[in-house]
Amino acid sequence: MRILGIDPGSEITGYGLIESDGSRHSSILFGAIRTSKRRPFHERLLEIHEQLREVLAREAIDAVAVEGVFYAANVQSALKLGHARGVVLLVAAQQGLPVYEYSPLEIKSALVGYGRAEKSQVQMMVRLLLDLPEVPTPNDAADALAVAICHSHRAAREALFPQQKKPRKRR
């Protein structure tokens, strides 16, 4: 299964594509879409849309996993994050891909086994699970890879134990 993980943000949107059988994972690509604060906000959203659409058009992807909103410093930050997430969901929907959303707590639990793990612990597990020589940079790309790995673990568990609660899926 090829899973595109996305860590949405209005300034930096991280993405990471993995291939996984549920227990072994390999990194296909990762990176970040950076937008300039100097550009109007609607143009920044368009940039996120266009670059994600290019990734989705170029790569074979089975599912998209997105980090959910968890906390924002203020209302304006939360709104901007919500807009960026909306663009991510739109691009996936336009490609007809299933979307799965995970909270930071779920992601940390899936990778480290502890929902309150430090960011550095999650990043180290991403490096180890993907057998990478170093932690992926920027941090947003490492976070996106973590989201993809989280979905892989959840999908494998669901295949083994289908009677358990399914992760939230959006179409």
> Is the CB of residue 75 less than 8 Å from the CB of residue 40?
no
For the beta carbon of residue 78, count every other beta carbon within 10 angstroms: 13
Distances (CA, A) of 52 to 31, 84, 115, 150: 11, 11, 28, 20
Cα 166 to Cα 171: distance, rounded to the nearest angstrom: 14
Catalytic choice (19, 47, 59, 140): 140
Catalytic choice (7, 101, 106, 143): 7
Beta bridge partners of 25: 20
Whether 143 is a known active-site residue: answer no
Which residue, among 39, 54, 60, 52, has the nearest Cα to 84 in the 3D structure? 52
The two tokens of residue 125 are 């597990």
- Amino acid 160 reads L
Whether 21 is a known active-site residue: answer no
> Is the CB of residue 146 less than 8 Å from the CB of residue 121?
no
Whether 131 is a known active-site residue: answer no
Cα 65 to Cα 17: distance, rounded to the nearest angstrom: 10
Catalytic choice (50, 67, 134, 158): 67
Active site residues: 7, 67, 140
